[in-house]
C-alpha cells in the first residue's frame, strides 16, 4: 500500500502578517519616541550650557566696560563674542537695560516648545524674556515739560499732567484717548498682548487695540473699583500697518481724571512660537511674576 505524505503550508497567514506588522510598528514608535526624547534632552543641555557660558561672559564684559554697561544690543553682544548666533535654535533674544539701577540683561533661547532664559539676577532656567514694545511705557520722560510723556498723544481738548511716572488726562469729549505714537510696525498674523494700570472712579474706560479698517476693536473694559487696576488685551494682528494701542474714554459727559501707569506690550508669537502663545489670562499670570507686574525694556519670567 502506497503511503501519502502530508506537507504543511509554510506561508504566513494573514493573522501572522498582521502580528508582525504590529510588532514592527510598536518597535518603530518606541525608537522614534526614544530618539525624540534624546534629541530634546540634548537641545535643553545645549541651551543650558550656552546660556550659562554667555552669562559669565556678560558679567566679565560689564566689569571691563568703562561705564559698567552690558552690550548695547544683540548685534553688539555677538560682535563682542559674548553671545553667539546659534543657528540651531528657532529663536534667540537678547535684551538689555543699561539705564536701570542695577543694570539688567535678559538672554533667551527657544527650540521647539522648549524655552530657556538667563538674566543678570538668576541662573539659566525654563523661562522667557519679555520685550516691551512700548517706548517710555513707564512715563518717565517728558523732555518738553508739557505734562505729556514723550511718545504719547492725547486729544487736543483733553487736559494732561505727568507726575511720579503717572500720566493723568481728562477727556474733553467722548472717545478722547491716550495713545502711543512710537509703536513698531506690527507683524501680520502675530498675536500681541498689551496691558496698563488704570485708575478712574467710573466705568466707560477701555484699553483698545485698533487694527485699521476691518481690523476690529478688541477691548478690555475698566470696572468702577477704586485704585489702579490691570486691564489687558490679547489680539491677533491682521495687518502689518495702522495698528494703534490706546485708552479711550467712551463717556458722553461727566469726565473725571484718568490716571495711567506701567504700560507694556509684547509679541507673544515671536517669544513662544506660532501656536504656542499663552492665553490672555496666562499672560496676565506671567506678568504678575514681575515687580508691580511691570517691565521697562526687558524682563525674565519663569515657566
pLDDT (tens digit per residue) in 184-200: 878 888 999 999 999 98
DSSP state of 116: E
- Using alpha carbons, select from 37, 81, 35, 88 the residue that is nearest to residue 58: 81
Range of weakest confidence among 132-141, 196-205, 231-240: 231-240
Q: Residue 38 has what pLDDT?
A: 62
The whole-angstrom separation of Cα 224 and Cα 251 is 13
Q: Residue 264 has what pLDDT?
A: 93
Q: Residue 132 has what pLDDT?
A: 94
Total count of domains within the chain: 2
In a domain, 28, yes or no: no
Same domain for 156 and 236, yes or no, is yes
Using one digit for the tens of pLDDT, what is the confidence trace for 59-118? 999 999 999 999 999 999 999 999 988 778 889 999 999 998 999 999 999 988 889 999
Same domain for 52 and 172, yes or no, is no
The whole-angstrom separation of Cα 109 and Cα 174 is 45
Same domain for 164 and 53, yes or no, is no
Q: Residue 270 has what pLDDT?
A: 92
The whole-angstrom separation of Cα 222 and Cα 232 is 10
Three cell numbers, residue 45: 543641555
| CATH classification of the domain holding 165 | 2.60.120.260
In a domain, 263, yes or no: yes
Specify which residues 90 forms β-bridges with.
Answer: none
Same domain for 174 and 263, yes or no, is yes
Task: Work out the pLDDT band at 303, boundaries 50, 70, 90.
Answer: very high
In a domain, 283, yes or no: yes
Three cell numbers, residue 15: 493573522
β-sheet with 152-154: strand ranges across: 152-154, 176-180, 244-249, 205-210, 219-221
Q: Residue 185 has what pLDDT?
A: 79
- Report the percent of the chain where pLDDT is more than 90: 54
- 213-241 burial, b if ≥16 CB within 10 A, otherwise e? eebeebbbebeeeeebebbbbbbbbeeee
The whole-angstrom separation of Cα 116 and Cα 47 is 7
Range of the domain at 205: 152-302
In a domain, 187, yes or no: yes
Q: What is the pTM of this model?
A: 0.82
Q: Residue 10 has what pLDDT?
A: 62
- Using alpha carbons, select from 241, 134, 264 the residue that is nearest to residue 193: 264
Q: Which residue has the higher pLDDT, 216 or 180?
A: 180
- 48-87 burial, b if ≥16 CB within 10 A, otherwise e? bebbeebbebbeebbeeeeeeebbeebebbeeeebbeeee
Checking if the pLDDT of 30 tops 80, the result is no
In a domain, 61, yes or no: yes
> Span 29-40, mean pLDDT?
62
Q: Residue 281 has what pLDDT?
A: 95
Specify which residues 153 forms β-bridges with.
Answer: 179
Amino acid at each position: 500500500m502506497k503511503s501519502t505524505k502530508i506537507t504543511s503550508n509554510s506561508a504566513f497567514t494573514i493573522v501572522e502578517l498582521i502580528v508582525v506588522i504590529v510588532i514592527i510598528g510598536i518597535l518603530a514608535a518606541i525608537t522614534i519616541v526614544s530618539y525624540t526624547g534624546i534629541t530634546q534632552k540634548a537641545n535643553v543641555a545645549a541651551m543650558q550650557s550656552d546660556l550659562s557660558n554667555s552669562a559669565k561672559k556678560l558679567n566679565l564684559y560689564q566689569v571691563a566696560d568703562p561705564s559698567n554697561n552690558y552690550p548695547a544690543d544683540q548685534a553688539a553682544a555677538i560682535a563682542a563674542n559674548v553671545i553667539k548666533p546659534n543657528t540651531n535654535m528657532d529663536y534667540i533674544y537678547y535684551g538689555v537695560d543699561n539705564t536701570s539701577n542695577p543694570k539688567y540683561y535678559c538672554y533667551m533661547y527657544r527650540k521647539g516648545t522648549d524655552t530657556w532664559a538667563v538674566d543678570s539676577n538668576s541662573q539659566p532656567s525654563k523661562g522667557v524674556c519679555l520685550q516691551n514694545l512700548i517706548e517710555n511705557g513707564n512715563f518717565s520722560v517728558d523732555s518738553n515739560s508739557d505734562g505729556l510723556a514723550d511718545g504719547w498723544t492725547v486729544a487736543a481738548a483733553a487736559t494732561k499732567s505727568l507726575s511720579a511716572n503717572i500720566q493723568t488726562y481728562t477727556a474733553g469729549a467722548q472717545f478722547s484717548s491716550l495713545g502711543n505714537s512710537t509703536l513698531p510696525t506690527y507683524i501680520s498674523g502675530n498675536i500681541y498682548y498689551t496691558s496698563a494700570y488704570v485708575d478712574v472712579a467710573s466705568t466707560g474706560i477701555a484699553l483698545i487695540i485698533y487694527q485699521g479698517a476691518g481690523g476690529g476693536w478688541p477691548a478690555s473694559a475698566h470696572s468702577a473699583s477704586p485704585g489702579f487696576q490691570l486691564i489687558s488685551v490679547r489680539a491677533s494682528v491682521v495687518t502689518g500697518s495702522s495698528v494703534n494701542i490706546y485708552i479711550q474714554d467712551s463717556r458722553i459727559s461727566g469726565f473725571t481724571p484718568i490716571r495711567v501707569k506701567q504700560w507694556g506690550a509684547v509679541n507673544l508669537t515671536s517669544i513662544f512660537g506660532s501656536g504656542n502663545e499663552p492665553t490672555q489670562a496666562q499672560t496676565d499670570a506671567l506678568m504678575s511674576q514681575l515687580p508691580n507686574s511691570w517691565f521697562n525694556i526687558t524682563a525674565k519670567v519663569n515657566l
